[in-house]
Amino acid sequence: MVLMNKLCAGASGWPRDPTLCGAHDPLIPLDAPAKLMNGPTRPPITRPLPFLAPDLEHLADEDHAPAIEAGMAEQLAEVETILRDPQAPNFENTIVALERSGRRLTRARNIFFNLTASATNDHLQQVKAELMPRLVAHEDAITLNEDLFLRVRAVHEARHDTGLDAVQERLVERYYDRFVRAGALLEPTGKKQLMALNAEEARLRSQFEDNVLKERTAVAVLVDDRAALLGLEEDAVAAAAEAARLRGHEGKWLIDLINTTRQPILAFLQDRTLRKRIHLASINRNRSGTNDDRPIIARLAQLRAQKAALLGFPTWAAYVTDDQMAGTPEAAVTLLAGLVPKAKGKAMMEADKLRAIAGELPGDKELRAWDWAYYSEQVRKAEYDLEEAAVKPYLELENVLVKGVLFAAEQLYGLAFKERFDMPIYHPDVRVFEIFDLDGSALGLFYGDFYARDNKSGGAWMSSFVDQSFLLEQQPVITLNCNYVKPAPGQPCLLGSDDVITLFHEFGHALHGMLSAQVYPLFSGTATSTDFVEFPSQLNEGFATDPEVLANYARHYLTGEAMPAALVNKMKRARAFDQGYATSEYLAAALLDIEWHSLTADDPLVTDVDAFEQAALAKYGSDHELIPPRYRSTYFSHIWSGGYAANYYAYLWSEVLDADGCSWFAEHGGATRENGLHFRSTVLSQGGSKDGHQLYLDFAGREARPEHLLKRRGLI
């Protein structure tokens, strides 16, 4: 999967949105509550765990709410101390003091939201539903505090006259902007209205996310007849049998769904009836029964429009993009809509090839959406003499991770990784690595959680337990989640080529967190604009096919034999394959996001979500029955619960930077240590200390050129 599903970018509100990962706030107090450090049921350890990592094995479900409540109370007391300071507001006693505040809350919140994303249960989901409105109200109590804002505004007005350096001035400006964007300039009545809307949004977002998680399990497709699985490799069949057994269906096979509309398993299933069942289960998610999300998203779109109007913006899309590289929703739409005809034209040529190779189809005889992946795989075999089944034995997870992802990080940035088996973890599948820097010094920790579970959010994402900050004397503790199908016991986890790209992508985000070198927590790691934050992760995808890196990890899981050169060449030739489809499904979802968030406060509540979606797609020529959007509205977690509202365009915006950045590496000698350290110093270490445009100029020394993206996607 080329496009990342989840990352908490926190680019448009303060304190940052905790609903996904809580990954970017000022973090952990050195005297954190014992249950969050040492565990409640065993003798206390004699020192904190390395890098202040949490003792996840001994943290009880009942510990989270009290810890978060204590953290909120403590932060409000810290804010009160700032307000009582008799000295005139200045950078240290106001801005830095705010940066230091809330460490206990952030620690508790980071742990809690990481667990509800990766290993939740009914109790934690209920706690989250209860806490979300309270956390939002807590944030409002800070950002809408008039006396506190007066102090921030005073520092902002004097910022050019008090000897601040460039980063400190930017910190002051970001604080002022975030308070204003949170409603600090509103009159009391407006603030009260905004607080009510914020509380309702928090409740609905939590409910939406809960529904999506439950629905993925509820609509998993159960197969009674082994013959229906013809075309699947034995490892996939065994994994489906194990999934069925674990849910009480011994002797059957269970096909779990992934987040996206298109299900990768359709590329291999010969049974057209089963393909149709899986596709319809995917595309109709959360549109009926107790998990129906349509009323939720209709109200979310409306209340966001109402919030935008209160804050002085015509739409939520205008509010969001005002704080991004794009600047306006029109700029985002220009990029997206401008590619629709090119992508659609290429997709229709791809469809003609599918029809030609399919011949006469059984049943209704028309090529359907559930046929695309299957016949696309046949075209790949015919045109490129390449089939995914031939590639997968060379892409075993352990090799890809250690000899690919981690090896590339060593080659480029001088990092080393040592697996630790003494660290507390929240699930047996989780792995922990200590990170060492160029000079051998310990840099932080990396947690990898790679397999899908019923109690885990879908997709793939990076987060953190602890963010780097020199001010707070913290080193990074980074997490990475994927949802690969766990193999049956004794079997290898063989990845598809898209799975490999996903792992490199998410590790690019992880590197952004690991290599942060910032004083202030507000600028740590991935705390950039959302339409820049995907640049490092997408750039890291390119190293998956670097010749030296690929040769190191692409080895047969049984023999250790390197992937044959002929197969490597076929893979490279096929990189632009099916890009008309892939680009079209992405553009449809991104434009759908913009349309939902272009509603105004005067527009009536959308009563027919399906009709709205269809009209939005038709508006841009993206309504093609063969190519549904990458996410339909009812399970589009990015925009309704994941912090990407009116921001899903960011992947393509960042890919313009990425494609040009890859060309910069090629022009300067490739994936060398020198180039890696340059990228580290100009981008990965800088976090949000500069705006995205300046960060790219510092790295490349030029503006990004969009033609590289068009060539990569085979659109020119």
The pLDDT tens digits of the residues spanning 618-647 come to: 999 999 999 999 999 999 999 999 889 999
**Three-state SS letters, 312-338:** CCCCHHHHHHCCCCCCCHHHHHHHHHH
Domains (ranges, CATH) in the chain? Answer: 6-207 (1.10.1370.40), 219-285 (no CATH), 315-392+578-648 (1.10.1370.10)
Amino acid at residue number 13: G
When the pLDDT of each residue in the chain is averaged and rounded to a whole number, the result is 92
50 secondary structure, DSSP code: G
Catalytic residue among 350, 506, 585, 595: 506
pLDDT at 388: 85
DSSP state of 392: G
User: Using one digit for the tens of pLDDT, what is the confidence trace for 318-350?
Assistant: 999 999 999 999 999 999 999 999 999 999 999
Residue 75 binned pLDDT confidence (cut-offs 50, 70, 90): very high
Task: Say how far apart CA 467 and CA 558 lie, in whole Å.
Answer: 39
Q: How confident is the model at residue 46 (pLDDT cuts 50, 70, 90)?
A: very low
Strands (E), 379-508: 416-420, 431-436, 442-451, 461-466, 477-484
The C-alpha angle 696, 697, 700, rounded to 5 degrees, equals 80
Which residue in this structure is represented by tokens 């990396």?
Answer: 446
- Phi-psi label, residue 383: left if phi above 0, alpha if psi -120 to 50, beta otherwise: alpha
Q: What percent of the chain has pLDDT over 90?
A: 87
Question: What's the confidence (pLDDT) of residue 13?
Answer: 31
337 vs 590: CA distance, rounded Å: 10
385: left (phi over 0), alpha (psi -120 to 50) or beta: left
What string of DSSP letters covers 271-302? Answer: -HHHHHHHHHHHHTTTSSGGG--HHHHHHHHH
Residue from 583, 408, 616 nearest 500 by CA? 408
Cα separation, 192 vs 183, in Å, equals 10
Which residue spans within 155-314 are E strands per DSSP? 221-223, 253-255
pLDDT at 35 over 70: no
Q: What does the pLDDT read at residue 7?
A: 31
506 is catalytic: yes
Question: Residues of the chain with pLDDT > 70: what percent?
Answer: 93
Query: Which of these, 141, 147, 146, 138, lies nearest to 105 by C-alpha position?
Result: 138
Lowest mean pLDDT among 431-440, 475-484, 532-541, 703-712: 703-712
C-beta atoms surrounding 664 within 10 Å: 19
Q: Give me the pLDDT at residue 361, please.
A: 84
Is pTM beyond 0.85? Reply is yes
- Assess contact for 205 and 132: CB atoms under 8 A: yes
List all residues 6 or more positions away from 668 whose beta carbon is below 8 Å from its beta carbon: 675
The whole-angstrom separation of Cα 195 and Cα 323 is 21
Instruction: Copy the structure tokens of residue 471.
Output: 């001010």
Does the pLDDT of residue 29 top 50, yes or no?
no
Residues pairing with 478 in the sheet:
446, 464
At a CB cut-off of 8 Å and minimum separation 6, what does 683 contact?
535, 536, 695, 696, 698, 699
pLDDT value at position 6? Answer: 31
pLDDT at 4 over 70: no
Answer for the pair 49, 492: CB distance below 8 angstroms, yes or no.
no
